[in-house]
Amino acid sequence: MATFINVLLLLLLIYFLRRLSKKHMKFSNRVFVGLALGIILGVTLQLIYGATSEEIENTVLWYNIIGTGYVKLLQMIAMPLVFISILSAFTKLKLGANLGKIAGLILFILIGTTAISAGVGIFSATIFNLDATELVQGNAEIERGATLEEKTSEVTSLPEQILSLFPANPFLDLTGARPTSTIAVVIFAAFLGFSYLRILRKDEGTSITIKKAIDAIYSLVMGIVTIVLRLTPYGILAIMARTLATSDFGAIYNLGKFVIASYVALIVVFIMHLLIISFSGLSPITYVKKTSETLLFAFTSRSSAGTLPLNLKTQTDRLGVPEGIANFAGSFGLSIGQNGCAGVYPAMLAIMIAPTVGQNPLEINFILMVIAIVAISSFGVAGVGGGATFAAIIVLSALNLPVALAGVLISVEPLIDMGRTAVNVSGSMISGVATARVTGDLDKEVYTNPHFDELT
């Protein structure tokens, strides 16, 4: 009966959001209403039943149909969108002429900001005096640590990691079967794009046919994107209700110093993004206003891949980034240079865990080594849940630090991952805006226009 009532409450709130849609409330406002209702519902359920109660466990199974189901729909279109976005970028003749410069700038910004993010993470961990020797491990943390140790067997040498980026079977990678599938799909699409450019030079008639086909497929995929994005208010409602209902606030309190240190570092990295916008001669306030909806979704969904459709539409429709550059920045940002998951998080873990093996975390050589390894290992980090864990395993293993100690953070992982994902997506959008600004392709009128269209 309790589960039935809880599910009924969710359905009533969904009906309420639907009514707001019928009354033509702005999409962004409905997203924020869904967020607020989800927080209220989640906190209420936890206060009534408790995070670990059977009622909450059964309720979450039903809530996941809407919350997790929505994220899965976004992930469903993420890989096809990455593929067709990169391919369609090559059909833009202007992009073809500046391809090397554009790709180089985007990669430089993504990797450069990740290296800086690692430095920010190191600074935050030092200021808050984080030390893994002070942490107490329970059964769940010990089990998590054992699992992480087992995964270290999957970590390979740097040459093997680079080799794993190549798409031996692009159709397998289109299913997202490997941690490096996203970058592999990007590489495969890039080869097809270069092939298109060759055909363009030799056979204009055939190239026109290919371009029409690519544009048609792109329109079809974006049509699916629009349909799925319209479900955003309902998805966020269910996701936030589930997250708040199941959060272990006691564990969050005990590990509060790490949570606070993490968010301080993430906020500093976001400020760095705004400084990049300012140095580009653009208004950071405008950037915040126009990206807040996308960053909010990234925060609640904890999926950079799931946020890709919103990421691309925000860059092109609101920030004035050309489609070609936006497609490259959004797709590359899924698996290269994720500022939060591949930058801040593994660096903080390295500093925190180093004292347990007698390593002074403040030695300059150690700090430089951490930053270098973080920057290099940021290639191929998955843009879905678990990407930060994958990055942490690589970095800690490369530094010969005990991976198992990262397991003590299992109870606060979801809370921290929300902020990390939002910073990842922001870094991706920053690379697109800054690159378009440098190349002179940014439509400044679109960027500065205070009135902007809905994302759906």
Query: Class assignment of domain 2-448?
Result: mainly alpha
Q: Which two tokens stand for residue 328?
A: 């490259």
Alpha helices for 23-130 (secondary structure H)? 27-49, 54-89, 93-97, 99-127
Indicate the pTM of the whole model: 0.79
178 with 172: CB under 8 angstroms? yes
Cα separation of 388 and 382, whole Å?
Answer: 8
At 406 the pLDDT is 64
Residues 6+ apart with CB under 8 A from 99: 90
Count CB neighbours of 314 within 10 A: 25
387-416: buried (b, 16+ CB within 10 Å) or exposed (e) per residue? Answer: bbbbbbbbbbbbbebbbbbbbbbbbbbbbb
331 with 82: CB under 8 angstroms? yes
Tell me which residue has tokens 């790490």.
Answer: 258
For the chain, the structural domain boundaries read 2-448
At 275 the pLDDT is 96
For the chain, 456 residues long, give each residue's pLDDT as a single digit of tens. 888 999 999 999 999 999 998 888 888 788 889 889 998 999 899 888 887 788 888 998 999 999 889 888 877 887 888 888 888 878 865 555 577 888 889 999 999 999 999 999 999 999 988 877 655 444 444 454 455 555 555 555 667 767 777 888 888 888 877 767 777 888 898 899 889 888 988 888 898 899 999 989 988 988 888 888 888 889 889 988 888 888 777 666 667 888 899 999 999 999 999 999 999 999 999 999 999 989 988 888 788 877 888 898 899 999 999 988 898 898 888 878 789 888 898 899 889 888 888 888 888 999 999 998 888 777 656 544 555 666 777 787 778 887 766 666 666 777 888 899 999 999 999 999 999 999 998 999 999 998 776 666
